[in-house]
Amino acid sequence: MKLPKYLRDFLIYLTTITGKSPRTRKEYEYDLILFFRFIKAMEQDLDIKTIHTIDISDITIDSIKDVTLEDLYLFMEYCEMQRGNSAASRARKVATLKAFFKYLKGKRRLIEDNPAEHLETPKIGKRQPVYLNFQEAQQFIEAVEFQHYNSRDYCMMIFFLNLGIRVSELCSLNMDSINDRMLTVIGKGDKERKVYLNDACLAALENYMQERKVYKGEGSQPLFVSQKGTRFARQTIAKIVKKINRNSITPKDKLTPHKLRHTSATMMYKAGADIRSLQAILGHSSVATTQIYTHIEDEQIQEVLKNNPFNSFK
């Protein structure tokens, strides 16, 4: 699909200047293409049901100058009512539109007014992270023995549970990412952080390295290599997690690599990790993101209340 030049320039700006990941860039691109198609459909009274077929290559900057805050509200209503987008999905689209129009006005000076400046972000209800308790995690790890390449898969799962790394970070690990007991992790926005490898990680890594497949690709040597000799993709890791979970004694509903990250963070917090240390380990840019792991289970709250000395007043 051919995109207007100013849109292509914005997408390049996202990765080269602001350091957004290719995945984030694709999400911004998807949101803006949908928005452009919506605007064109409104302007030319096109059938909204065939919005995916609308060509946006001819949308000029003059058309963008005519966009108003009311148009943005209409787009958000369309996303909610006709596309069924959740509040989180619509919040991402608001962030996309804000970044795009801010770029057009502030960086390129292609527009005089920013219609997205006062666009509100939908309120997202706070959700507690889904995670495995210690026994469930133990049973999950024990299920790895049923995998064909168990030393490799075991090592990857141990990294998830002990280091709390993202699946994209696991996929991007290279052989030279390891220096003694320190692991260099490249997180969101290409931000680098050092993570300590505990005894469990080192033991799992040592076993895996004895059976590591030869990498058949080019460039940096990935730490984890697939049976075909390639670097893992996020989707493949997710399938491995799903298969291990299926073999577990107590499978967890819709277990994903991200939920293993939640498990790691929750367990570390319960074990006494302070919020700032946890933020550094997880690679969060804001401590507010880390604070979702400071929840306390209902059972623990009940136990505290049961043990209140005043509970003896009857």
- For 17, the enclosing helix (H) or strand (E) is none
Assess whether 127 carries a catalytic annotation: no
Contact 39, 50 (CB under 8 A): no
Tokens of 16: 């080269």
List the catalytic residue out of 20, 90, 92, 284.
Answer: 284
Going by their DSSP bridges, the two strands 192-196 and 182-186 should be labelled as: antiparallel
Which residues, at least 6 apart from 110, have a Cβ–Cβ distance to it below 8 Å? Answer: 6, 61, 64, 65, 104
List the catalytic residue out of 188, 212, 213, 270.
Answer: 188
Assess whether 181 carries a catalytic annotation: no
List the catalytic residue out of 93, 231, 261, 262.
Answer: 261
Closest among 160, 138, 176, 129 to 240, alpha carbons compared: 160
Distance of CA 63 to the CA centre of its chain: 33
Tokens of 89: 């999905």
List the catalytic residue out of 213, 242, 243, 258.
Answer: 258
Angle between helices 257-270 and 234-247 (to 10 degrees): 70
Tokens of 239: 């399938």
Contact 176, 183 (CB under 8 A): no
List the catalytic residue out of 37, 166, 231, 262.
Answer: 166
Assess whether 258 carries a catalytic annotation: yes
| Distance in Å from the first CA to the final CA of the chain | 74
Assess whether 261 carries a catalytic annotation: yes
What positions carry a catalytic annotation?
166, 188, 258, 261, 284, 293
